Amino acid sequence: MKIALINENSQAAKNSIVYNELNAVASKLNYTVHNYGMYSAEDTHQLTYVKNGLLAAILLNAKAVDFVVTGCGTGQGAMLACNSFPNVLCGHIVDSLDAYLFGQVNDGNCIAMPFAQGFGWGGELNLRYTFEKLFSEPFGGGYPKERVIPEQANKKILDQVKLVTHQPMIKILKEMDQQFLKDTIDYPEFKDLFFNNCQDEEIATYLKEVLK
């Protein structure tokens, strides 16, 4: 599994903390973490939670990654932004119980975490325990286990609803504010990580044009 980490500007200083805890869990499972920044509060390339949602959607729709970990001060803005896009099912995750139930019941592909609210003494431990429970079992296994069939059925229904209520990602990319799109993706780490892992040639070709 390829996992993307995306931090927005208000919580950029915590990027290394989040990355270290996520990577410690992922490496034990032979998963790979791609760190899309921001890497520090001093980065010249600024990401907002709205840009995080767009980045998450680009990465997931282009199959450059399989899962996205993002967030903001409260996690709410990042969750709303992510869920604005097709093929992104993002949960607001505060702790290990949230993480486990989201993975087992909702079978999503993105989480938004509060990196300021409630992030105090032991914050890094909460991150570690949350990531451990999130990836402790294959997603969609159900909870309680006897509820797995109706829960999986509901997930399939939600996926079909999102196909109707959302436009294709390439159409969104072409119709949205092009300067905002370019401002979101125009930094070296995105270009390196994304274009080396993207599996959707149409999206890759279009973004290369935007970046010219």
pLDDT of residue 38: 98
Provide the CATH number for the domain around residue 116.
3.40.1400.10
Q: Report yes or no: 71 and 152 within 8 Å, Cβ to Cβ.
A: no
Residue located via tokens 């993307």: 4
Residues in Cβ contact with 139 at an 8 Å cutoff, skipping those fewer than 6 apart: 103, 104, 107, 108
Give the range of the structural domain holding residue 159, as residue numbers without chain letter: 2-210
What are the distances in angstroms from CA 5 to CA 26, 33, 179, 212?
Answer: 12, 7, 23, 25
From first to last of the 212 residues of the chain, give the pLDDT tens digit. 999 999 999 999 999 999 999 999 999 999 999 999 999 999 999 999 999 999 999 999 999 999 999 999 999 999 999 999 999 999 999 999 999 999 999 999 999 999 999 999 999 999 999 999 999 999 999 999 999 999 999 999 999 999 999 999 999 999 999 999 999 999 999 999 999 999 999 999 999 999 99
Q: Is 63 left (phi over 0), alpha (psi -120 to 50) or beta?
A: left
The closest alpha carbon to 71, from 145, 146, 165, 8, belongs to 8
Report the C-alpha gap between 142 and 68 in whole angstroms.
21
pLDDT of residue 29: 98
Provide the domain count of the chain.
1
The closest alpha carbon to 71, from 116, 120, 106, 112, belongs to 112
pLDDT of residue 79: 98
The closest alpha carbon to 36, from 61, 64, 77, 1, belongs to 64
The closest alpha carbon to 110, from 142, 141, 84, belongs to 84
Distance separating the N- and C-terminal Cα atoms of the chain = 31
What are the distances in angstroms from CA 116 to CA 35, 106, 122, 123, 156?
Answer: 19, 25, 13, 10, 33
Does the predicted TM-score (pTM) go above 0.85? yes
pLDDT of residue 39: 98
Q: Report yes or no: 108 and 91 within 8 Å, Cβ to Cβ.
A: yes
